[in-house]
Homo-oligomer: A and B are copies of this chain.
Amino acid sequence: MSNESTAWVLSLSCPDRAGIVHAVTGVLAEHGGNITESQQFGDPDTGLFFMRVEVACAASRENLESAIGVLGERFSMTWRLDVAGRRMRTIVMVSKAAHCVNDLLFRERAGTLPVDIVAVVGNHATLKNHAEFYEKPFVHIPVTAETKADAEAELLALVERMDVELVVLARYMQILSPELSAALRGKAINIHHSFLPSFKGARPYFQAHDRGVKLIGATAHYVTADLDEGPIIEQDVERVDHTHTPESLTAMGADVERRALAKAVRWHAEHRVLLDGHRTIVFK
């Protein structure tokens, strides 16, 4: 038996009612836990309650899970217990543009993004070298109209075989089928190159230039079957002016995209993002 304390993160949601926080903190106290960070939110619209707790605790995972399980039954909770800082097993999907995947790989190596990128998957082979420089397996899964179903099946098999917890679409440029979107519900993050809901659809920087907006943006969101309508995790913008061409907007936008995507991935990997209907709670 060890007295060594582990840092745990517990995230949960359930129908809101009195006594949840007290009950949760009670279970943690009974197991000798010391809360180091905690946030709660009750959404009056959906009637749901959300909580995220970091707790230092010497109890075993079995004991903790068993106790929280009892609570979970009682409050009809969706909950998850994880070791704080554990690196989430992640696949990054790419096409030809390198800026987002380069950023994620760099941050993983720098130790500022708690993910373990187990593979880079591309529908083109363009970024194979890039993946290899960061010592990541590159999997080339070409996609055509004819092979799309097979390609998606291959991806899903990969996700299962590699025990992947998060799929990041880093300017992947392919639309996932409703079936794959459903299979990856809540564990696939896309970066859209506009400030949604502005400029849905293709070529948003050309749309932005045509409309003459004074700020351009990017949106990181969970993938859903309803394209460009998934729950938003993070958005960011940059100031532009009349001198910008669609091309220079695209170059500037790349910075905004990678910034918003990296934040979304980090928060997700730290269990800071909880789904609240078609919106998100983000405990930053």
Interface residues of A (CB under 8 A from B): 17-22, 25-26, 28-29, 32-44, 98-99, 102, 106, 110, 112, 133, 195-199, 211-215, 217, 231-237, 241-243, 245, 251, 254-255, 259, 276, 278-282, 284
Pull 29 A–B residue pairs with CB atoms less than 8 Å apart, ordered by A.
A18-B29, A18-B32, A18-B33, A18-B35, A19-B29, A21-B21, A22-B22, A22-B28, A35-B42, A37-B40, A37-B243, A38-B40, A98-B106, A110-B251, A112-B251, A133-B133, A195-B195, A196-B211, A197-B199, A211-B232, A212-B231, A212-B280, A214-B232, A215-B217, A215-B236, A237-B237, A241-B282, A242-B279, A242-B282
With A36-B42, A39-B39 known to touch, is A25 a contact of B21 (CB < 8 Å)?
yes
Please tell me which one of the listed residues B20, B26, B241 contacts residue A22 in the complex, with CB atoms under 8 A apart.
B26
Identify which of B28, B215, B232, B241 contacts A213 (C-beta below 8 A).
B232
Taken together as a complex, chains A and B put the C-alpha atoms of A37 and B50 apart, in Å, by 11
* Docked CA distance A272–B255 (Å): 21
Residues in B with CB closer than 8 Å to A215 are 195, 217, 235-237
Residues of chain B within 8 A of A106, CB atoms compared: 98-99, 102
| Nearest B residue to A236, CB-CB | B215
**A254 CA / B112 CA spacing, docked (Å):** 10
Minimal Cβ-Cβ distance residue in B for A112: B251
Contacts of A279 in B (CB 8 A): 211-212, 242
Minimum Cβ distance to chain B for residue A64 (Å)? 15
Q: Contacts A25-B21, A106-B99 given; indicate if A41 touches B243 (C-beta within 8 A).
A: yes
A242-B279, A251-B112 known; A18-B43 Cβ under 8 A: no
Residues from chain B with a CB closer than 8 A to the CB of A35 are 18, 20-21, 40, 42
Give the chain B neighbours of A99 by CB distance below 8 A: 106, 110
